[in-house]
Amino acid sequence: MRKTLLILCLTSSFFCFCAQAESFRSFSPSRFERVSFQSVSTPLPFDDGLASQRQELLEAVGHSVAYLRSSDAKDSYVRFQREGISREQMLVSLERFRELLLSPLSAHELQEQVRREFDLLYPADAERSVKFTGYFQPTYEASLTPTEIFRYPIYQTPPDFSSWPLPHPKRISLEGFEGRGVPQSPLYGYELAWLKTRWEAYMIHVQGSAILNLQGETKKQLSIRYDEGTKKPFRGIPRSFLVTNGISWGMLPQYFKRNPHQFNYLLARNDRFILFAKNETADPLGSLGVPVIAERSIATDKSLLPPGALGIIRTRIPYVGKNGDIYLKKTSRLVLDQDTGSAIKGPARVDIFMGTGPEAQRRANHVYSQGSLYYLIHKDVI
């Protein structure tokens, strides 16, 4: 995922393992404050994209409603009981919001009705100041068999993965120093596909899903998603590496093409390894098992923040100008909390899903700013 400017080189790709990667650290839920719209010191804009993206928001809301009705949600919300937040509260709030979305209210009328009916929740530990980054679903060419061109494998989860003894193997023993696989690895024989470069394989690990355009006789697409991850810490490429070499995020693929040995050494430090599964749909799935929607789904620390909940974010989001350049605009968005990530830790971290393909990647590379996160809860639920 992520940052193209050297000043913004603390990128989500390096420092935030996002998308579908699960966390294996344990936290206690944050303490939440409940306030009215009117009590927010700075007037909170509602959603400047609502008029044109109402259907996308409605779809995302439907996914969260389906999740909140599931047994998985019931189990997940046990940890939030002492914070006074329940699955039932979030579900009632979402269902009422969906009713308003389906009504003939204009965007402005909808905003005013929500202000009347809903309160805001925010994690007190975040002090209303949240760091935002962006992630995306990449699309790459791939092959179902190794060739001279396609040499870097992506692996599916072996059937015995749940019984692997701890500590789990390090990355280098799973895929080799050069990332091309080794016969001694417990992953040998479980290759899903092969990529052209190790950078592409790495980016799929970082983003947690991909669309692979298969080469050869098939000429089909293969959609893959995060399935499992080794119980190892994620170590991204440090900022000092970018500064020392005078390069930015956007220059890294070319830099590592010229200096593959440096990339191999850096990845050898990162023992976290991701395993994938075939996805029945091209839609990327979040950690809740529901599809994520561009600019409507976010990833947060689900041990601290309420999964599936409806929220409002306010931060700087990249737009594409008429000349094709990226510019940043302070924006508010109604979002659904539907994903998580290995390095998305604490109540003050949010990753915004920006979509699929190169353009989504280009925009995600520019998401790096501070902002606010609030959750919506209906006034009638206590």
Find the mean pLDDT for residues 91-109.
Answer: 96
Length of the chain: 382
Q: What is the pLDDT of residues 220-232, one digit of tens each?
A: 999 999 999 999 9
- In the prediction, which pLDDT does 98 show? 98
- In the prediction, which pLDDT does 218 show? 64
- Assess contact for 302 and 217: CB atoms under 8 A: no
Q: What is the pLDDT of residues 74-92, one digit of tens each?
A: 999 999 988 889 999 999 9
d(CA 371, CA 5): 19
Helix (H, G, I), strand (E, B) or coil at 245: helix
pLDDT category at 281 given cuts 50, 70, 90 is confident
- The Cα-based distances of 301 to 6, 307, 347 in angstroms read 27, 9, 7
**Residue 269: how many other CB atoms lie within 10 Å:** 13
Q: What are phi and psi of 360, to 5 degrees?
A: -65, -40
pLDDT category at 124 given cuts 50, 70, 90 is confident
Query: How buried is 56 (Cβ within 10 angstroms: 0-12 exposed, 13-18 middle, 19+ buried)?
Result: middle
- Assess contact for 242 and 248: CB atoms under 8 A: yes
- Assess contact for 323 and 56: CB atoms under 8 A: no
Q: What are phi and psi of 299, to 5 degrees?
A: -115, 130
pLDDT category at 6 given cuts 50, 70, 90 is very low
d(CA 235, CA 343): 9
- Assess contact for 348 and 88: CB atoms under 8 A: no
Give the dihedral of Cα atoms 335, 339, 345, 350; nearest 10 deg.
-30
Q: What is the pLDDT of residues 334-373, one digit of tens each?
A: 999 999 987 788 899 999 999 999 999 999 989 989 999 9
Q: Give percent of the chain with pLDDT exceeding 70.
A: 89
- Assess contact for 234 and 11: CB atoms under 8 A: no
Q: What is the DSSP string of 57-85?
A: HHHHHHHHHHHHTSHHHHHHGGGGGGGT-
d(CA 85, CA 79): 9
Amino acid letter for position 183: P
Tell me which of 55-64, 72-81, 118-127 is least confident.
118-127
The third-level CATH classification (topology) of the domain covering 1-382 is: Barwin-like endoglucanases (2.40.40)
pLDDT category at 22 given cuts 50, 70, 90 is very low
Segment holding 13, helix H or strand E: helix 12-15
pLDDT above 90 (res 45): no
| Residue among 63, 128, 49, 53 at smallest CA distance from 94 | 63
* 215/183: higher pLDDT: 183
Sign of CA dihedral 356, 359, 365, 370: negative
Beta bridge partners of 83: none
- The Cα-based distances of 298 to 188, 339, 378, 382 in angstroms read 34, 6, 21, 25
Q: What are phi and psi of 107, to 5 degrees?
A: -60, -45
d(CA 270, CA 171): 7
pLDDT above 60 (res 7): no
Q: Give percent of the chain with pLDDT exceeding 90.
A: 71
What is the pTM (predicted TM-score) of this model? Answer: 0.86
Helix (H, G, I), strand (E, B) or coil at 327: strand
- The Cα-based distances of 32 to 23, 29, 304 in angstroms read 22, 9, 10
- Spatial CB neighbours of 206, under 8 Å, sequence gap ≥ 6: 1, 12, 13, 17, 18, 19, 135
- In the prediction, which pLDDT does 49 show? 84
Helix (H, G, I), strand (E, B) or coil at 315: strand
- Assess contact for 273 and 174: CB atoms under 8 A: yes
pLDDT category at 217 given cuts 50, 70, 90 is low
Give me 6's structure tokens.
């050297």
Q: Quick one: how far is CA 245 from the chain centroid? A: 28
* 2/168: higher pLDDT: 168
Rg (CA), the chain: 21
- In the prediction, which pLDDT does 381 show? 86
Q: What are phi and psi of 285, to 5 degrees?
A: -105, 140
Residue ranges of the domains in the chain? 1-382
